[in-house]
């Protein structure tokens, strides 16, 4: 792919035409968006989800922490307690969020830290194209390693962000004082492409990222009188890794005049860059005691230092959230700013200190089993908060499951543009607003990690010391399928009703009637992913199963959409101008010059088992899915007239497909769709291979 394509694409965005759908809110002004992703904070670490209940019960052997600002945000915003991260560890989780693709499609998988996210659509390129100013703060870790810094191939500035300040490398996020390097050595902090770490005396990173984000927001308000919206990715590297402490109490007041402030003076860049490094413990925890031996007749003992540190670290993030909300109020943009808060994965048992941190002290995994690196609920259920005063109903609880890669299409819809067809997620706008019909989110995780699940007493016996290796998780409505230590695709899923049984203690797989669910899960995971040579799976070479027998007739269905688009759009949020049927996907169905996008659906009849290769050649762009598997991407970086191909192993029978095609004014329309396979030389896919549902 042309390495300069992103710059050309974004330059085109400045003058191109973007067609989209109307915003769902009464005020159609595009909202500012702040997305906060913390590092290794568990579902159970949040007060409103779990810790407040521990406090209410007041069992002295079960200590608790507090998150008062997040609790307020939960009451005044929307809670998504059934949200999942895309992977149970940082890099793949963040990569899936950024690209809007689950782990069956993302190019960063498993433990591929510092691998470059591919040069394609990201949440930042989409919003930038929609007219947003974009900035990222904090931990990145997706930059790639095949060029000498600071010219990393996937630097945030190369993936849609206008401004960046933070830790470029994943490993740098293991230390929270970049200049002093108290426990892990000195680190580099980049402002755009310049390392500014030497100026960051006594800068605790959670404070640094918050102060920098506040400064940037204020600058946007001051400099962009036209009301241009902004998008911020605020990626904290706390509370994970070495659990260091701030230098002092969180500054009082918050907002424009109080709280954390960017001073911009080398050696004193922020207003907490003074005092003693790694020293301040929040007063709620400094003298905290607990019943360590579960014997109320013996004196309580002080919390071990590592847990005072962890509680202080999570509380610091909570204070930062309150500070940011106050700033939005102070500069009068709170009513048009959406804030989302979530975590990249479940809680970790790491501390990088002499004293180990164990998440069972606060039960950071909440009511679930599993931690970071598990695909049990405790490793991947992270919840989320969405706060947009005046637009979302206060206290709304979304019970339907969703995933972090749903935010790209969600933000795209709020920005007034369709998501790119490559995105795996769905827009959560109906759930957030309580208006419209919510499409079902596909929650899917695949991951490899050696080792075992911890043997915590809180976990059910079957989950203690559970061997990990190849793992897979899928959720279908209330049921999750779970596979650990997968040796082949024949291995059965454990099946749990996570609404009735959140701890996944009762495996339903052997119950009568579950054979069909078992097969559905096995089929679905093969139909929804693509193998990746850098992260091999035991099921990579399996034939993708056909759909069960359905009533069909010859031909395919098509829908047409007006307007020029800057990418091949996911048409699910668009209203078609025309619809019809035809014998095969072809551009002759369209005689309207205003129509630039066509969408074809139906089935391809595969004559015999084997590997099939499909070929696409278009004038502008196209995207092909077989089932839900993304097979051919002729969109971002695609040059018209170039053939793209994708190979897939299929069982004989009917396989649903979705073909998206987009042309552009001034282009001569072209859509060439070919295939080859067992006994089939490369040729146009014949009319006889296409079927569509019979309308009753």
Candidates 266, 192, 276, 203; CA nearest to 238 is 203
**Mean pLDDT, residues 475-480 taken together:** 97
Q: What's the token pair of residue 240?
A: 């994970």
For the stretch 391-430, pLDDT in tens is 999 999 999 999 999 999 999 999 999 999 999 999 999 9
Position 1 scores a pLDDT of 38
Cα-trace Rg, the chain: 26
Mean pLDDT over 81-99 rounds to: 98
pLDDT in tens, 7-49: 545 544 443 444 444 333 434 589 999 999 999 999 999 999 9
Give the per-residue pLDDT at 564. Answer: 87
- Report which of 336, 335, 343 is spatially closest to residue 318, judged by C-alpha positions: 343
489-544 residue pLDDT tens: 999 999 999 999 999 999 999 999 999 999 999 999 999 999 999 999 999 999 99
Quick one: pLDDT at residue 19?
47
Which positions ≥6 away from 670 have C-beta within 8 Å? 587, 617, 618, 619, 640, 641
- Return d(Cα 115, Cα 336) in angstroms, integer: 35
Q: At what angle do helices 305-330 and 68-76 cross, to 10 degrees?
A: 50
Q: Is 109 helix (H, G, I), strand (E, B) or coil?
A: coil
Whole-angstrom Cα distance, residue 414 to residue 406? 13
Question: 295 pLDDT exceeds 70?
Answer: yes
User: In terms of Cα–Cα distance, which of 216, 205, 207, 239 is closest to 136?
Assistant: 216
Instruction: Check residue 20 and give its pLDDT.
Output: 45
Peptide bond into 150 cis (omega under 30): yes
* Whole-angstrom distance, CA of residue 335 vs CA of residue 629: 39
Distance CA 332, CA 327 (A): 8
CB atoms near residue 223 (< 10 Å)? 10
Spatial neighbors of 577 by CB under 8 A, at least 6 apart, are: 560, 561, 562, 592, 594, 595
Which of the four pLDDT bands, split at 50, 70 and 90, describes residue 694? Answer: confident
Average pLDDT, the chain: 93
Cα dihedral value 254, 258, 260, 266, nearest 10: 170
Give residue 90's pLDDT. Answer: 96
User: Can you read off the two tokens belonging to residue 681?
Assistant: 């030389």
Task: Report pLDDT for 147.
Answer: 67
For residues 110-119, average pLDDT: 96
Instruction: Work out whether the CA dihedral 629, 632, 637, 640 comes out positive or negative.
Output: negative
CB burial class (10 A; 0-12, 13-18, 19+) of residue 146? exposed
Stronger pLDDT, 195 or 150, i.e. the higher one: 195
pLDDT band at 217 (very low <50, low <70, confident <90, very high): very high
Cis omega (within 30 of 0) on the bond before 158? no
Identify the pLDDT of residue 449: 96
Provide the greatest CA pair distance for the chain: 85
DSSP state of 381: B
CA distance 401 to 41: 19
Give yes or no for a contact between 50 and 63, defined as CB atoms under 8 angstroms apart: no
pLDDT at 110 over 90: yes
Structural domains in the chain plus CATH codes: 31-279+317-441 (3.40.720.10), 445-527 (3.30.1120), 552-693 (3.90.182.10)
For residue 444, what pLDDT is reported?
Answer: 98
Distances (CA, A) of 140 to 116, 122, 255: 10, 14, 26
Give 36: exposed, middle or buried? Use CB within 10 Å, 0-12, 13-18, 19+: buried
pLDDT per residue over 604-615, tens digit each?
999 999 999 999
Instruction: Quickly state the pLDDT bin for 226 (edges 50, 70, 90).
Output: low
* Residue 363's pLDDT band (cuts 50, 70, 90): very high
CB-side exposure of 252: number of CA atoms within 13 Å? 0
Q: Is 146's pLDDT higher than 80?
A: no
* Res. 696: pLDDT tops 80: no
Four-residue CA torsion sign, 170, 312, 180, 262: positive
Helix, coil or strand: residue 216: helix
**694 compared with 653, residue with greater pLDDT:** 653
Give residue 6's pLDDT: 52
Residue-wise pLDDT tens digits, 640-683: 889 999 999 999 999 999 999 999 877 788 999 999 999 999 99
Of these ranges, 262-271, 591-600, 634-643, the one predicted with the greatest mean pLDDT is: 262-271
Which residue reads 């670290």 in tokens? 313
Say yes or no to pLDDT of 212 above 60.
yes
d(CA 133, CA 121): 16
User: How far, in Å, CA of 121 to CA of 633, rounded?
Assistant: 11
Q: Work out the percent of the chain whose per-residue pLDDT is above 70.
A: 95
pLDDT tens profile 547-566: 998 899 999 999 999 988 99
- The token duo for 196 is 């500014």
Q: What average pLDDT score do residues 194-215 get?
A: 98
């Amino acid at each position: 792919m042309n390495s300069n394509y992103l710059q050309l694409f974004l330059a085109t965005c400045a003058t191109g035409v973007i067609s989209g759908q109307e915003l769902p809110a009464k005020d159609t002004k595009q909202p500012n968006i702040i997305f906060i992703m913390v590092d290794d904070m568990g579902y159970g670490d949040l007060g409103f989800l779990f810790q407040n209940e521990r406090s209410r019960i007041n069992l002295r052997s079960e200590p608790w922490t507090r998150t008062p600002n997040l609790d307020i945000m939960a009451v005044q915003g929307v809670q998504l307690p059934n949200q999942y991260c895309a992977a149970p560890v940082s890099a793949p989780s963040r990569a899936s969020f950024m690209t809007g693709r689950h782990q069956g499609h993302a190019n960063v998988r498993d433990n591929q830290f510092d691998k470059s996210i591919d040069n394609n659509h990201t949440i930042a390129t989409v919003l930038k194209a929609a007219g947003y100013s974009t900035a990222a703060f904090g931990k990145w870790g997706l930059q790639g390693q095949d060029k000498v810094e600071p010219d990393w191939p996937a630097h945030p500035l190369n993936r849609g962000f206008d401004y960046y300040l933070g830790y470029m490398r994943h490993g740098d996020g293991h230390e929270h004082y970049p200049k002093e390097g108290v426990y892990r050595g000195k680190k580099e902090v980049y402002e755009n492409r310049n390392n500014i770490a030497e100026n960051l005396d006594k800068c605790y990173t959670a404070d640094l990222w918050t102060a920098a984000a506040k400064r940037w927001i204020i600058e946007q308000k001051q400099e962009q009188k036209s009301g241009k919206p902004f998008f911020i990715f605020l990626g904290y590297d706390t509370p994970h890794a070495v659990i260091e402490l701030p230098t002092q109490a969180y500054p009082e007041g918050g907002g424009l005049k109080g709280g954390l402030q960017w001073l911009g003076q080398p050696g004193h860049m922020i207003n907490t860059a003074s005092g003693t490094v790694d020293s301040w413990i929040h007063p709620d925890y400094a003298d905290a005691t607990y019943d360590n031996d579960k014997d109320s007749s013996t004196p309580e003992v002080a919390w071990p230092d590592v847990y005072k540190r962890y509680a202080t670290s999570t509380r610091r993030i909570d204070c930062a959230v309150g500070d940011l909300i106050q700033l939005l109020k102070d500069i009068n943009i709170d009513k048009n700013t959406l804030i989302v808060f979530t975590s990249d994965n479940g809680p970790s048992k790491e501390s990088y200190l002499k004293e180990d941190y164990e998440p069972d002290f606060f039960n950071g995994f909440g009511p679930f089993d599993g931690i970071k690196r598990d695909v049990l609920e405790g490793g991947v259920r992270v919840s989320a908060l969405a706060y947009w005063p005046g637009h979302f109903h206060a206290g709304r609880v979304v019970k339907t499951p969703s995933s972090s890669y749903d935010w790209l299409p969600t933000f795209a819809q709020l920005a007034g543009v369709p998501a790119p067809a490559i995105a795996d997620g769905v827009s959560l706008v109906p759930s957030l607003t309580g208006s419209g019909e919510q499409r079902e989110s596909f929650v899917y995780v695949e991951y490899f990690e050696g080792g075992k699940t911890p043997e915590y007493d809180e976990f059910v016996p079957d989950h203690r010391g559970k061997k990990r290796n190849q793992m897979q998780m899928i959720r279908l409505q209330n049921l999750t399928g779970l596979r650990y230590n997968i040796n082949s695709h024949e291995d059965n899923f454990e099946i749990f009703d996570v609404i009735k049984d959140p701890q996944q203690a009762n495996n339903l797989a052997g119950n009568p009637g579950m054979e069909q669910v078992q097969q559905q899960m096995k089929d679905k995971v093969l139909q929804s992913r693509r193998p990746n040579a850098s992260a091999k799976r035991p099921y990579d070479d399996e034939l993708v199963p056909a759909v069960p027998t359905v009533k069909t007739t010859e031909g395919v269905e098509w829908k047409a959409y007006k307007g020029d688009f800057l990418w091949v759009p996911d048409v699910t949020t668009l209203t078609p101008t025309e619809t019809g049927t035809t014998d095969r996907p072809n551009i002759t169905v369209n005689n309207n010059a205003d129509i630039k996008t066509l969408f074809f659906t139906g089935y391809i009849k595969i004559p015999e088992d084997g590997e099939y290769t499909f070929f696409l050649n278009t004038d502008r762009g196209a995207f092909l899915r077989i089932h839900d598997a993304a097979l051919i991407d002729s969109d971002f970086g695609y040059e018209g007239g170039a053939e793209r191909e994708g190979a897939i192993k299929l069982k004989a029978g009917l396989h649903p497909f979705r073909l998206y095609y987009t042309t552009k004014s001034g282009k001569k329309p072209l859509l060439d769709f070919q295939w080859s396979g067992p006994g089939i030389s490369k040729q146009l896919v014949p009319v006889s291979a296409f079927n569509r549902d019979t309308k009753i």
